[in-house]
A and B are shown apart, each in its own frame.
Chain A
Amino acid sequence: MLKSLRRVLSVALAALMIVTLFGACAKDNAKAPGETGTAEPNGNKTGTKTIHIMGPESSNPYVKFAERDRYNSWKEFEKLFQEKGLTPEFEIVATDQYQTTLQTRMAAGVDLPDFLNVSQLDDSTILNYVDMGTILPVNKIIDEHSDGTAKEFFSTDGKGARSNVLNTAEDGNVYWISQIQATTYDDKPGSTNMGISVRKDWLDKLKLEVPKTTDDFYNMLKAFQDQDANGNGQPDEVLAFDPAGFTNGIAQWFGLVTDITSFVIEDGKVVSPWYQPGIKDYFKYLNKLASDGLMDTSLIGLTTADQLDQTIAQNKAGAIFTYCMQTWYEPSTGDPDAAYLPIGPLKGTDAAEPVNAIEPPFLSYNRWAFTKECKDLDAAGALLDILCSDKYMELTQWGIEGETYEVVNGEKKLLPIALNAGWEQAGKEGKAIGDSLWANGSMFPKRRFVPMENEISVVPDYKAEYQRQVIDYHPTTPLGNSNYFPVPTKEQVERRLELITDLTTQSKQLATQLILGQASLDDWDAHIESLKNLGLDEILEIDQSLLSRYKETIKD
Chain B
Amino acid sequence: MSIKRKFGAGDVVIYLVMLFVCFITLYPMYYVFILSISDPVAAAGMKVYFWPKGLYFRAYSVLATDGRMWRAYGYTIFYVISNTVLVILTSITCAYPLTSKKLVGRKFVVAFLLIPMYFGGGLIPSFLLISKLGLYNTVWALIIPSCFNIWYIILTRTFFAGIPESLRESARIDGANNFSILARIYVPLSKPILAVVGIYTIVNVWNSWFPSMVYQPDTAIQPLQMYLRRVLIEQTVDLTKLTQAEAEAMARLKLSNNQLKYSMIIFTTLPVIFTYPFFQKYFVKGVMLGSLKG
Give the docked Cα–Cα distance between A26 and B223 (Å).
12
Cβ A309 vs Cβ B180 within 8 A: no
- Contact partners of B238 in chain A: CB under 8 A: 305
Check: A408 CB closer than 8 A to any chain B CB.
Answer: no
Check: B229 CB closer than 8 A to any chain A CB.
Answer: yes
**Least distance between A483 CB and chain B CB atoms (Å):** 11
> Which residue of the partner chain, among B89, B179, B183, B221, contacts A15 with CB atoms under 8 Å?
B89
Give the docked Cα–Cα distance between A181 and B128 (Å).
38
Check: A298 CB closer than 8 A to any chain B CB.
Answer: no
Q: Taking CB as reference atom, which chain B residue is nearest A12? A: B89
Q: Taking CB as reference atom, which chain B residue is nearest A93? A: B217
Interface residues of B in 214-244 (CB under 8 A from A): 214, 217-221, 226, 229-230, 233-235, 237-240, 243-244
Interface footprint category on B: 35 or more
Check: B137 CB closer than 8 A to any chain A CB.
Answer: yes
Interface residues of A in 278-315 (CB under 8 A from B): 305, 309-310, 313-315
Check: A97 CB closer than 8 A to any chain B CB.
Answer: yes
Check: A234 CB closer than 8 A to any chain B CB.
Answer: no
> Which residue of the partner chain, among B47, B82, B213, B252, contacts A328 with CB atoms under 8 Å?
B252
Interface residues of B in 119-135 (CB under 8 A from A): 123-124, 127-128, 131
Cβ A181 vs Cβ B243 within 8 A: yes
- Contact partners of A7 in chain B: CB under 8 A: 183
Check: B16 CB closer than 8 A to any chain A CB.
Answer: no
Check: A132 CB closer than 8 A to any chain B CB.
Answer: no
> Which residue of the partner chain, among A104, A325, A421, A423, contacts B244 with CB atoms under 8 Å?
A325
Cβ B137 vs Cβ A61 within 8 A: no
> Which residue of the partner chain, among A22, A94, A419, contacts B219 with CB atoms under 8 Å?
A94
**Least distance between A110 CB and chain B CB atoms (Å):** 6
Check: B169 CB closer than 8 A to any chain A CB.
Answer: no
Cβ A332 vs Cβ B127 within 8 A: no
**Least distance between B215 CB and chain A CB atoms (Å):** 9
Interface string of A243-287 (1 = CB under 8 A from B): 000000000000000000000000000000000000000000000
- Contact partners of A332 in chain B: CB under 8 A: 41, 44, 251, 255
Cβ A310 vs Cβ B46 within 8 A: yes
Cβ B176 vs Cβ A4 within 8 A: yes
Check: A206 CB closer than 8 A to any chain B CB.
Answer: no
Cβ A35 vs Cβ B219 within 8 A: yes
- Contact partners of A29 in chain B: CB under 8 A: 220-221
- Contact partners of B248 in chain A: CB under 8 A: 326-328, 420
Instruction: Of the listed stretches B102-110, B138-146, B264-272, name the one at the interface; the rest are far from the partner chain.
Output: B138-146
Cβ B45 vs Cβ A455 within 8 A: no
Check: A218 CB closer than 8 A to any chain B CB.
Answer: no
Interface string of B43-79 (1 = CB under 8 A from A): 0111100000000000000000000000000010010
> Which residue of the partner chain, among A23, A36, A100, contacts B137 with CB atoms under 8 Å?
A36
- Contact partners of A8 in chain B: CB under 8 A: 179, 182-183
**Least distance between A249 CB and chain B CB atoms (Å):** 12
Cβ A59 vs Cβ B237 within 8 A: yes
Interface string of A86-110 (1 = CB under 8 A from B): 0000010111110011001001101
Check: B165 CB closer than 8 A to any chain A CB.
Answer: no
Check: B253 CB closer than 8 A to any chain A CB.
Answer: yes
**Least distance between B257 CB and chain A CB atoms (Å):** 9
Q: Would A26 and B247 be within 8 Å (CB), given that A104-B124, A313-B41 are in contact?
A: no
Q: Taking CB as reference atom, which chain A residue is nearest B46? A: A310
Check: A1 CB closer than 8 A to any chain B CB.
Answer: yes
> Which residue of the partner chain, among B75, B217, B234, contacts A61 with CB atoms under 8 Å?
B234
Check: B184 CB closer than 8 A to any chain A CB.
Answer: yes
- Contact partners of B177 in chain A: CB under 8 A: 1, 4
Cβ B180 vs Cβ A4 within 8 A: yes
- Contact partners of A315 in chain B: CB under 8 A: 45
**Least distance between B104 CB and chain A CB atoms (Å):** 22
Cβ A328 vs Cβ B180 within 8 A: no
Cβ A35 vs Cβ B218 within 8 A: yes
Interface string of A166-182 (1 = CB under 8 A from B): 00000000000000010
**Least distance between B11 CB and chain A CB atoms (Å):** 43
Check: A5 CB closer than 8 A to any chain B CB.
Answer: yes
Which of A101, A328, A419 has its CB near the most chain B CB atoms (within 10 A)? Answer: A328
Q: Taking CB as reference atom, which chain B residue is nearest A448? A: B245
Interface string of B26-46 (1 = CB under 8 A from A): 000000000000000110111
Q: Would A97 and B180 be within 8 Å (CB), given that A29-B220, A30-B220, A104-B123 are in contact?
A: no
Check: A319 CB closer than 8 A to any chain B CB.
Answer: no
- Contact partners of A221 in chain B: CB under 8 A: none
- Contact partners of B253 in chain A: CB under 8 A: 61
Q: Taking CB as reference atom, which chain B residue is nearest A26? A: B139
Check: A363 CB closer than 8 A to any chain B CB.
Answer: yes
Q: Would A26 and B78 be within 8 Å (CB), given that A107-B127, A108-B127, A421-B249 are in contact?
A: yes
**Least distance between A251 CB and chain B CB atoms (Å):** 15
Q: Taking CB as reference atom, which chain B residue is nearest A191? A: B244
- Contact partners of A26 in chain B: CB under 8 A: 75, 78, 139, 221
Give the docked Cα–Cα distance between A419 and B248 (Å).
11
Check: B85 CB closer than 8 A to any chain A CB.
Answer: yes
Q: Taking CB as reference atom, which chain A residue is nearest B82? A: A19
- Contact partners of A313 in chain B: CB under 8 A: 41, 44-46
Interface string of A495-525 (1 = CB under 8 A from B): 0000000000000000000000000000000
- Contact partners of B82 in chain A: CB under 8 A: 15, 18-19, 22
Q: Would A328 and B247 be within 8 Å (CB), given that A8-B179, A93-B217 are in contact?
A: yes
Check: A158 CB closer than 8 A to any chain B CB.
Answer: no
Interface residues of A in 309-343 (CB under 8 A from B): 309-310, 313-315, 323, 325-329, 331-334
Q: List 10 A-B contacts (CB under 8 A).
A: A4-B179, A15-B82, A15-B89, A27-B138, A27-B139, A36-B217, A59-B237, A95-B234, A192-B244, A333-B41
**Which 6 residue pairs across A and B have the least CB separation, nearest first?**
A420-B249, A328-B251, A4-B180, A313-B44, A313-B45, A314-B45
